[in-house]
Each structure stands twice: as structure tokens, then as C-alpha cells.
Amino acid sequence: MSDKSNANSKQKTVQQEFNLEDVDSTLQEDNIANTSVTDINKSAPLPQDNSPKFQNIEKKTKKVVHSSELDMELKIIFKKILWKMGHYGRIDVKIAGYGEEPIGRKDGIGELTDIDVLGFNFQDDFQINNIIVDCKNGENVSPSNRMFWIKGVMENHMNSRGYMVMGKKVIPSHLRDLANQYNISLMDGKNITALERIYDIVDLDGLEIFSEELFEKQDKISDRNILDLLEYRKYHYWIDEDHTKIHNIINLLTKYAEVLKSSNKNHQIVVMDFAILFTIALFKLCSYIMRTSLSDVRSGVILYLYNGIYNLDKYRSVLTLVGKMLRATAKNYNEIKDIFEYQPRFFDSLVELCITILRRPKESKDILRYMDVALYSTIMPKKEDKKTVKDILKEDFNDITMKLTFDIFDFIEKNTLIDSNLIPRKQMYM
């Protein structure tokens, strides 16, 4: 047989093994065009070649994809869905606990697990409903195990509902009734696609607030000079009791006021994130006031900060006793007497801020979303790509909400003495 006929025969064999028309028909049969982005990886595989040459190429080019990378696509999608629902969503929230012995860390914190997406839904009375979202985009996962995991996390977060999101795995139908009892929504293939279409998340594509690259950048900030701040936003904030968070945030930012520089973008990112965490804590305080002492905000604020009248009375009794002893014995008592004041130094400003927020419940609900936009669209992008909050929100922008957001910034700056340029107000608004 001639060389030419051999070549034609080989060419014909290759065409039979890998015909573009066959691939096109396969795509049509699988209806890939109508699936969500999480299903794109299901397209027809390329033909296999067991030759050593092909195997060597495959080893060199094959990329190891970690489960967290696979899941990130779903996390971004669900943050978009929560945004369209009117909620604030936060990706990769750590759940940890303190131990008696250090577990690889000097502070004794041991990481337990994390929440893929934690959503916050604020009611008009500042009540917070938590949304626990678990995203799994791999095949080797047990839907029943994940459902009970979500239920456990929901028990740790009051007023919660859950979403179990599976990109590739089909959720068995026998889980539906139990999931409904647990207040957990089941989202796999077609259900995710339907939810994406209902909330029309396509118009959010390209917005920096949903950028995986920017999320990774802010999440992996490393700076020894502000290590306490980084550790607090990652772990301690989510461990601390709610009534301590406002005090802890103000004290930490005060401690690092001279270290934080407005010329350092990472410092700007951390300060904005602290403003977000402060706002969540502030809304919990406002919710407490609405339930217990709306006619006496000052009383409600101090009771919340001390976690109730019992702790407040006990603390005041101890301070009074120690104060009397030192007044009779300490020569410099007039210099140290301020430490026996049970009201924190920022108390009056906090009462004023609470009154301001409580008067505008509807406009206040979106403050976290405005801060999130400012973080990802104003602070993080390059100078030529920066956008204002108004640029992003367009007709949904509300001047009153922006003013309330600035009131929170004012409170933080006044009571911590951080550089006012760390939060770029003009770039956010103008």
C-alpha cells in the first residue's frame, strides 16, 4: 500500500473517532445552551489516546482543581441571587471556637467549619434573618450529610433558613419532605437555573462586587502590622458574643489608628470591612432597642452593652466598691477616677447614632449593601476602573441611605481617631 493511501486511511480513522458534527449534535441533545454555568463541564469528553506521548502531555497540562475552587462559582452565583432578593451576602464565613490548649495557633482558636455564603435579611424592625448557603459543585458529596450539616449550622445561628446548593449532584427526592421541615431549600441543576432566571442575575455579570478575583484578593490580605485586625474579622468577630462586638471593634481600630494608612489600599479594605461588621452589630443593638426600650434609647443601649440589667448592676456595684477604696487611699485618685465610669467613652455618640438609624428603618436596611459596593467598586479596583455607589445602583440609589452610611463612618472615625481618608467618601458618592 502506498504512503498516500496510508495517510488517507489514518485521516479517515481520526475523523471517525472525533467528528465535529457528532460533537455538535451531542451538545444539542444535552441542551447545553439552556443549562446554568455550573453544568458546562458536562459536555462531551475528548477521545482518549493511550499512547505514551499523549499521556505525557496530559500529565503536564492537567491542573489539580481543589473543591473550594469548584465551589466558588456557585458561591458567586448565590451571592448574586441574594443580592437580587435584597439581601447582603458574605462569602466564606468561618466558624471557630476557643480551646484550653493552642491548636496550631497562639490564641487557642480552632477552626470548626465555614459557611459558604452567609446572607443577612433585615426586617423593618432591624430583626436579622440569617441565610445559610452550602455550595457543593463536585460529584463525591452526600446530599443527606450536607442537609444535616446545614441544619446544625442553622441551630448555631438564630432565625435562620438554609439553602443546599448542588452544582452537579442530583438531590434525591426522598429528602424533600425533611428538608422542608428543616426550612432548607434544595437547589440542584434545574432548580438553580430556574432561580437564576427568576431573579434575572445576568445583568449583574461584570460587576466588581461579584468578582472572584477581588474576593480572593481581600480575603488573602496579609500584613503583620495589622494582624490583630485581620484575625478579628476572620475569626474573633464570629465567636464573640453580640453585645461585645461594638466595643471590641472601636477598641481595636483605636489601638491601630496610627498604624492604618490611607495610602495603603489593604488598610482601606480592612477598615471598610470593619465598618460592615460594625453595622451588623449596630443593627442587632437597634433590634434589641425596638423590642425592649424604644421610648428610652439610652437605657436600651447601656443594657445591651452589658447584656442585661443583672450584669450592669453587678458591674456598677464592683466599680462603686473599688472606687470608694481608692478614693480613700490613692493620692492620684482624680487622675484615675475615669476608669470607674461604667459607660464607655463612645456612649453618647452611640446613642445618637442609634436614634438616627431607628428613625429611618427602611432606608437603613440597605446600608450594608452600599458598603459592599463601596468596598468592591470604589476602593479595590484600579484608579481608572473605580466607580461610585451611584454608578452601580443607578435608579435604586437612595441619598438618605448614603447619608446614613456616612453617619456610621463619622461615628467610627470620631471614636477611633483613624485617618478620615481611609474611607473615600467623595469617590463613593461623587
**What pLDDT was estimated at residue 298?**
97
Q: Is 0.75 surpassed by the pTM of this model?
A: yes
Nearest to 193 by CA among 345, 85, 364, 33: 33
Domains in the chain: boundaries: 16-61, 67-205, 219-306+342-429
- Provide the percentage of residues in the chain whose pLDDT is more than 90: 69
Q: Compute, in degrees rounded to 10, the torsion defined by CA atoms 173, 177, 183, 184.
A: -10
**What pLDDT was estimated at residue 334?**
73
Tens-digit pLDDT profile for residues 351-387: 999 999 999 999 999 999 999 999 999 999 999 999 9
pLDDT top residue among 110 and 389 = 389
Residue 13 pLDDT level (bands cut at 50, 70, 90): very low
- Looking at the predicted structure, is the pLDDT value of residue 32 above 80? no
Look up the CATH number of domain 67-205: 3.40.1350.10
| Residues whose CB falls within 8 Å of the CB of residue 37, separated by 6 or more in sequence, listed in order | 73, 77
Query: For 131, phi and psi rounded to 5 degrees?
Result: -120, 115
Tens-digit pLDDT profile for residues 121-147: 999 899 999 999 999 998 889 999 999
With H, G, I as helix, E, B as strand and everything else as coil, classify residue 106.
Answer: coil
- Determine the length of the chain: 430
Q: Compute, in degrees rounded to 10, the torsion defined by CA atoms 339, 343, 349, 353.
A: 150
Nearest to 362 by CA among 86, 18, 165: 86
- Looking at the predicted structure, is the pLDDT value of residue 165 above 70? yes
- The number of helix segments (H) and strand segments (E) in the chain equals 21, 5
Residue 73 pLDDT level (bands cut at 50, 70, 90): very high
Nearest to 96 by CA among 107, 84, 110: 110
Tens-digit pLDDT profile for residues 251-270: 999 999 999 999 999 999 99
CA distance 175 to 164: 11
Neighbours of 329 (CB within 10 A): 8
Q: What is the DSSP letter of 109?
A: E
Mean pLDDT, all residues of the chain: 85
Beta strands (DSSP E) in 137-210 are 160-166, 184-188
Helix (H) or strand (E) holding 25: helix 20-30
Q: Is 402 exposed, middle or buried (0-12, 13-18, 19+ CB in 10 A)?
A: buried
Q: Which of 52-61, 278-287, 336-345 has the highest mean pLDDT?
A: 278-287
**Quick one: average pLDDT of 236-264?**
97
Rg of the Cα trace of the chain?
27
- Looking at the predicted structure, is the pLDDT value of residue 77 above 70? yes
